[in-house]
């Protein structure tokens, strides 16, 4: 039997049900579902410090680098970060941003891209990354008719998640960022999008 995790509506978002067997995280699977209520919300100033702390703890990056980047997610109209909160605590985040041609990789098109998903390791494979992706897609499709996504060819869990939502591979290209040495560019048209709910603008 497939367990389901319930994600109540945040401001400007609808409630939705998610299935943890859809690859939501990037680590080994865990049993069960998210026991506490998880809310998906646009990043606010009060979320900055907790989001930075999550990145520093999990990715072992410098706090100053992420703090400046995350602040732009609030002030720049071309980008938006969403956070997932359990019991009011930030446990995950993901970004959508508009990029220029070649900015995501060699010969990649200009447009909106999904990027930067990070989920608390103990809560991966429980539907949170899927919920963040659906929220970002609704935000992007309120602005444009297509969205792109780049991931390493070895990132099977993330590639499967996006394929399940309708993304189709466009091409592959060499990349030093990927452990496999190859990145995959995928595209999703609004008309082909699956199960994300109404398009919204949270600005």
Give per-residue pLDDT as tens, 40-98: 999 999 999 999 999 999 999 999 889 999 999 999 999 999 999 999 999 999 999 99
Inter-axis angle of helices 63-75 and 45-59, nearest 10: 140
CA quadruple 202, 19, 94, 54: dihedral sign: positive
Pick the CATH number of 5-192 from 3.40.630.30, 2.160.10.10, 3.90.1300.10, 4.10.490.10: 3.40.630.30
Token pair for residue 94?
């993901």
pTM summary value: 0.80
Q: Which helix (H) or strand (E) covers residue 46, if one does?
A: helix 45-59
Spatial neighbors of 103 by CB under 8 A, at least 6 apart, are 110
Q: Which residue in this structure is represented by tokens 């590639």?
A: 159
Q: For residue 36, name the pLDDT band (cuts at 50, 70, 90).
A: low
Which SS3 state, helix, strand or coil, does residue 78 take?
Answer: coil
Q: Contact at 8 Å (CB) between 129 and 90?
A: no
Token pair for residue 105?
């990789």
Decide which of 37 and 103 is more confident.
Answer: 103
Alpha helices per DSSP H over 60-108: 63-75
Q: What value does the mean pLDDT take over residues 135-160?
A: 96
Question: Of 82, 5, 10, whose CA–CA distance to 39 is shortest?
Answer: 10
Average pLDDT of the chain, as a whole number: 83
- Residue 109 DSSP class: P
């Amino acid at each position: 039997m497939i367990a389901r995790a319930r994600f109540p509506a945040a401001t400007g978002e609808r409630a939705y049900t998610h299935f943890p067997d859809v690859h939501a995280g990037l680590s080994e699977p865990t049993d069960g579902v998210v026991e506490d209520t998880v809310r998906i919300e646009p990043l606010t100033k009060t979320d900055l410090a907790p989001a930075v702390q999550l990145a520093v703890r999990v990715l072992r990056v410098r706090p100053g680098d992420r703090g400046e980047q995350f602040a732009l997610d609030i002030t720049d109209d071309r980008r938006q970060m969403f956070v997932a909160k359990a019991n009011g605590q930030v446990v995950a985040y993901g970004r959508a941003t508009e990029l220029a041609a070649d900015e995501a990789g060699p010969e990649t098109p200009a447009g909106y891209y999904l990027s930067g998903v990070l989920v608390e390791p103990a809560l991966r494979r429980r539907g949170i990354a899927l919920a963040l992706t659906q929220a970002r897609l609704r935000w992007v499709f309120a602005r444009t008719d297509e969205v792109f996504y780049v991931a390493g060819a070895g990132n099977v869990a993330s590639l499967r998640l996006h394929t399940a939502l309708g993304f189709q591979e466009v091409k592959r290209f060499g990349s030093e960022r990927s452990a496999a040495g190859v990145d995959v560019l995928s595209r999703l048209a609004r008309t082909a999008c699956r199960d994300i709910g109404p398009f919204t603008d949270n600005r």
